[in-house]
Amino acid sequence: MGALPIYVGEMKILVVGSGGREHALVETLRRSSREPEILCAPGNAGIAQAARVKPISADTLPGVQAIVELGKAERVDLVVIGPEAPLVLGLANALESAGIKVFGPRKEAARLEGSKAFTKEFLARHSIPTAAFHVFEEVAAARAHVEHVPLPVVLKADGLAAGKGVIVARTRTEALAAVETILVEKRFGEAGSRLVVEEFLPGSELSLLIVTDGESFVALETAQDYKPVFDGDQGPNTGGMGCYSPYYRLDDPVIQLALERIVRPTLKGLSKDGIQFRGLLYVGLMLTARGPEVLEFNVRFGDPETQVILSRLQSDLVELFERTIEGRLQGYKPVWDARHSVCVVATSGGYPDRHKTGLEIQGLHEAAATNVRIFHGATTLAPDGRVLTAGGRVLGVTALGETREEARDQAYSAMKKLHFEGIHYRRDIGSRGRYTARGQ
Ligand code: AMP
Ligand code: GLY
């Protein structure tokens, strides 16, 4: 007699983070046939409806240690790390050392997001297409450079700045002001001790998310993110104001070119440099007349890309994570919902600058509809049960539809029913891009 199949359905998963991305991860993991019990630290008001939340943030070294202790105490089978900060601090390393399985790269690999200068040098070393660049620590040298570079020009704080540390300067005055903001005023803190000044790339942006076990990789369905805060891509950059998926189909020549010219050489470059990458590599691309070029790497799922991409995933996310960790990705093809998804983000008025928090959110029940998911970002539950705003990106209203237009209409109808003082969202999410009809 062969071994009996052991199916106990008692898997425990800890998701680290508190945004819309983590809410989408929690909801997708809940759909797994493994029926996992899900914990989330620290979570938010929406996640608290779907998982057991623990008030621990992994954004500091003591926080990282506290997550490891939680993982041990709860005997979790798998930790999924949502945000970049714990990855850069070495949470994956610490969990591995404690014998806990983790989805997310070690800190050596997380430098691809933790330092833009490191990434630009990596790209240059491996001849991977990216904008021409210079790195500065000295203010005078940066000013002198910016005095004569062609405009527009892009100025980036080297370190982590939650998507906000990039300034696209269209005039000389703006470029000089950006040097002051990043290097002198240190608006983005220590992230701005180094400044990357790079060539402006005209084109269309594409978020290509790759899951890799260090050898093989799987490309997830594509998405397009809207970074600037106002309609028509006006105003400062944010973490992401909305997204839709699919953008290009995976078999489109544009994607094949991006895999050939960028993804494969990147994975080869990492292994040549002795850096093992296991987890999700987010490749931020500009599709230029010269072909696809790298804008940035992130070492984790995108937000709000995750909300639109995972809404379309039909395969078991636990299986994808386990295959990655165990080095079994080769030949694996996730199954996708052919429908389109659109996510519109509602932010606090004033974001990405100063904004109020603690405001009551109304309409959450009224906005609920078939094919619409309201992923919570910066929300918190008041003791009296009211849901309050707690930061910049508050809600990600995500809808599925046969066409992108249908998904878009559904997301905006739901959004109209939501309210908090100062609520802001873009009105043009999903209204540009190439594919609109189902499966096209
Ligand atoms: P990053 O965090 O480096 O992806 O930059 C944030 C956003 O700034 C990108 O998503 C683009 O919209 C814009 N951006 C960054 N670098 C460039 C560039 N070289 N040319 C044009 N736009 C850029
Ligand atoms: N939406 C862009 C990011 O996650 O970095």
Residue whose CA is at the smallest distance from ligand 2 atom 5: 302
Using the predicted structure, report yes or no on whether residue 112 has a pLDDT greater than 50. Answer: yes
Q: According to the model, what pLDDT value does residue 434 have?
A: 44
Q: How far apart, in Å, are the Cα atoms of 322 and each of 77, 109, 164?
A: 10, 19, 33
CA of residue 162 to ligand 1 center, whole Å: 13
Any ligand 2 atom below 6 A from CB of 303: yes
Biggest alpha carbon–alpha carbon distance for the chain: 78
Residue 263 — pLDDT band, cuts 50, 70, 90? very high
> Ligand 1 pocket test: which of 160, 174, 205, 286 has the largest number of ligand atoms within 8 Å of its C-beta?
286
**Spatial contact of 197 and 153, defined as CB atoms under 8 Å apart:** yes
Interval 365-393 mean pLDDT:
96
Domain extents in the chain:
12-103, 132-199, 204-325, 340-415
Among all bound ligands, the one having the nearest atom to the CA of 306 is 2
Q: Which fold has domain 132-199?
A: Dna Ligase; domain 1 (3.30.1490)
Residue whose CA is at the smallest distance from ligand 1 atom 6: 166
Q: According to the model, what pLDDT value does residue 432 have?
A: 64
Percent of the chain with pLDDT over 90: 84
Interval 164-180 mean pLDDT:
90
Using the predicted structure, report yes or no on whether residue 438 has a pLDDT greater than 70. Answer: no
114-155 confidence digits (pLDDT tens) = 888 899 999 999 999 999 999 998 889 899 999 999 999 999
**Spatial contact of 89 and 61, defined as CB atoms under 8 Å apart:** yes
Using the predicted structure, report yes or no on whether residue 37 has a pLDDT greater than 80. Answer: yes
Q: According to the model, what pLDDT value does residue 28 have?
A: 98
Judging by DSSP bridges, how do beta strands 291-298 and 279-288 pair with one another?
Answer: antiparallel
Q: According to the model, what pLDDT value does residue 42 have?
A: 98
Q: How far apart, in Å, are the Cα atoms of 167 and each of 145, 181, 284, 301?
A: 16, 10, 16, 23
> Ligand 2 pocket test: which of 305, 308, 309, 343 has the largest number of ligand atoms within 8 Å of its C-beta?
305
Higher pLDDT, 2 or 357: 357
CA of residue 157 to ligand 1 center, whole Å: 12
CA-202 nearest atom, ligand 1: 21
Q: According to the model, what pLDDT value does residue 165 have?
A: 82
Which residues, other chains included, contact 385 with Cβ-Cβ below 8 Å and sequence gap of 6+? none
Using the predicted structure, report yes or no on whether residue 248 has a pLDDT greater than 50. Answer: yes
Calculate the average pLDDT of the chain: 93
322-340 confidence digits (pLDDT tens) = 999 999 999 999 999 999 9
Superfamily assignment of 204-325 in CATH?
ATP-grasp fold, B domain (3.30.470.20)
Out of 156-160, 168-172, 190-194, 260-264, least confident range? 190-194
Using the predicted structure, report yes or no on whether residue 433 has a pLDDT greater than 60. Answer: no
Among all bound ligands, the one having the nearest atom to the CA of 129 is 1
CA of residue 282 to ligand 2 center, whole Å: 8
CA of residue 302 to ligand 2 center, whole Å: 4
73-101 confidence digits (pLDDT tens) = 999 999 999 999 999 999 999 999 999 99
Q: According to the model, what pLDDT value does residue 296 have?
A: 93
Q: According to the model, what pLDDT value does residue 187 have?
A: 85
Any ligand 1 atom below 6 A from CB of 201: yes
Any ligand 2 atom below 6 A from CB of 198: no
CA of residue 166 to ligand 1 center, whole Å: 7
Structure tokens at 354: 């100063």
Residue 166 — pLDDT band, cuts 50, 70, 90? confident
Any ligand 1 atom below 6 A from CB of 168: yes
In the block, residue with structure tokens 């002795």? 274
Q: Which fold has domain 12-103?
A: Rossmann fold (3.40.50)
Which residues, other chains included, contact 44 with Cβ-Cβ below 8 Å and sequence gap of 6+? 18, 19, 22, 23, 376, 377, 378, 379, 380, 390
Higher pLDDT, 117 or 300: 300
Any ligand 2 atom below 6 A from CB of 213: no
Using the predicted structure, report yes or no on whether residue 381 has a pLDDT greater than 70. Answer: yes
Domain 340-415 has CATH 3.40.50.1820: no
Using the predicted structure, report yes or no on whether residue 161 has a pLDDT greater than 90. Answer: no
Using the predicted structure, report yes or no on whether residue 8 has a pLDDT greater than 80. Answer: no
